[in-house]
Structure 1
């Protein structure tokens, strides 16, 4: 199915959602728009939105969780937000997949309802287009990934970073935090010996948030770089496909067990903690997507009521390793 077909389906689904139960109750819509409905991370975020609805049945507002069918459909996400603006929803929380493209649309549309970002932010130059950001301190997430790698491999070596969408501000911030920490200085575009670490040819990789592509990329890197010292999943894409991820890591399990090859990954969803328990990663740096989805409606209502809110609002990080696996992530 091509992108136009996916976009058409997403548009029909959005129209149906907006016209369904909320209309009968005359509820106002608080929209939470994610990069893609095919990403398990965002499913958890959507669960937070659903819990808010369950706990607030008498509210004049309802939380609508939506996004394009595919995380690769950056233009589709922009179109969904534009449609929501045109429909006059009460407020919108956006996780922009392509930050510059989303910013351009917001500049053109000049929405009158509150706009906030969630999970991923707009680029620094465009942040006046939203009122606040709710989610991870993504730079700090990259810092923690680097610290765990340095602890596990203090002498350095060769590394490959796996990123998501090229223009995703949150992913780029994590990569910057990782490189700055490894290098011991800011502004390193690609590691070339700084701190004893060098990125191998062909890296960083960009998954476009696609699970199958992420696993294929990992397999290719392991094959082409048999002496690779570290692989950093800046996001959890490959691990979101546990069967494929197990097959990919099977080819390097002896190296993982001896720590000749280190894997540090983002996020702590259940299949990822299973991977950690199985020795298929050495550290997982977790975000808190449920909290993001659960808090977003309340923040939007505060903005609608002209209340002052903090900017940014960070939801915290969890550091999960084999040593604390039974108590991680914190509940």
Structure 2
């Protein structure tokens, strides 16, 4: 009898050893970004990591993931589809190609909560997600235009640098800029409205690539020596500080005299260094850390059937020559 009891205890111990890790396995809350090569998303991922650190006993864990390259739109879509098929608890997506991501969601019909973060789906597809957490991107473009107007009220020539052509957040910023600088709604391209004209060859599309962004800037400055304003709708070129310094070296005299004005999106450390060094005139900052930190909690609320507002805006920071030492 004693041997039988010992045997049963041993068997129970083995079963616990086998089952225990399975029972302890956490449910995944996935945060999928456009590309792991973008420093902006690294900060967003840090927010996800802090949530995990602060919630060690939660049944959920935040998984930060995405394609290696921000140019890999198909790769991001495949990652999301794989997560759907694996049955994760919830997914927050920053879609690089909004229409293509929407088509995949229509086809797969995920059962778990889907939200967007940083970038939204196309307006026609927003019923496919439950909420958006991130920047009011149209207002970000509005602020870029207001700061340009404050430094040049007469108008002139302008070039905008965008990211991926099908990214909803980037296109919303561009629209906010055009509408505000022109004083008219729905402007597709500036052709003198409000005194501003977009030069030939612009807008530029970087596909979120740092090296390409800097090359585009350099080429634009060389071929357009009388350019009045260059608007980095996102911070791509500035994410490569050495290359950006070389590019802006060729126009430093114009930047100091404000014959050429540079306004850029985001306020990561190398970008604030650029502002302090006079290599830009204003930085309109998002809050990526907050996005990554809040996303798991929003997904849990959705899983639990709680009411969640849509959208959930994270705010903007306006950093200029006047407040550069205390901003953001």
Where on the TM-score scale, by shorter chain, does this alignment land: which range? over 0.9
- Gaps of at least 5 residues in structure 1 are 1-21
1:156 is aligned to 155
Deviation at 1:321, TM superposition (A): 0.4
1:305 and 1:113 map into 2 onto residues whose CA distance is: 11
SS in 2 for 1:255: helix
Deviation at 1:150, TM superposition (A): 0.4
2:255 is aligned to 256
1:228 is aligned to 227
1:106-255 matches, cutoff 5 A: 106-255=105-254
Gap change, CA 1:209 and 1:24, over 3 Å in 2: farther
- Asked if residue 25 in structure 1 is aligned to residue 24 in structure 2, the reply is yes
Deviation at 1:244, TM superposition (A): 0.2
- Asked if residue 104 in structure 1 is aligned to residue 99 in structure 2, the reply is no
Q: TM-score, normalised by structure 1?
A: 0.92
- Asked if residue 327 in structure 1 is aligned to residue 322 in structure 2, the reply is no
1:103 and 1:289 map into 2 onto residues whose CA distance is: 23
1:249-328 matches, cutoff 5 A: 249-328=248-327
Q: What is the aligned length?
A: 308
Q: TM-score, normalised by structure 2?
A: 0.93
SS in 1 for 2:231: strand
2:165 and 2:257 map into 1 onto residues whose CA distance is: 33
1:45 and 1:207 map into 2 onto residues whose CA distance is: 21
Deviation at 1:25, TM superposition (A): 3.0
2:68 and 2:22 map into 1 onto residues whose CA distance is: 24
1:219 and 1:290 map into 2 onto residues whose CA distance is: 31
**Two-structure CA RMSD over aligned residues (Å):** 0.8
What CA deviation, in whole Å up to 9, does each residue of 1:31-58 have, x standing for no partner?
A: 0000000000000000000000000000
Deviation at 1:26, TM superposition (A): 1.1
What CA deviation, in whole Å up to 9, does each residue of 1:117-158 have, x standing for no partner?
A: 000000110000000000000000000000000000110000
What CA deviation, in whole Å up to 9, does each residue of 1:233-276 have, x standing for no partner?
A: 00000000000000000000000000000000000000000000
Which structure would you say has the larger Rg?
2
2:289 and 2:23 map into 1 onto residues whose CA distance is: 28
1:273 and 1:23 map into 2 onto residues whose CA distance is: 46
1:325 and 1:265 map into 2 onto residues whose CA distance is: 14
2:274 and 2:65 map into 1 onto residues whose CA distance is: 29
2:40 is aligned to 41
1:312 and 1:234 map into 2 onto residues whose CA distance is: 21
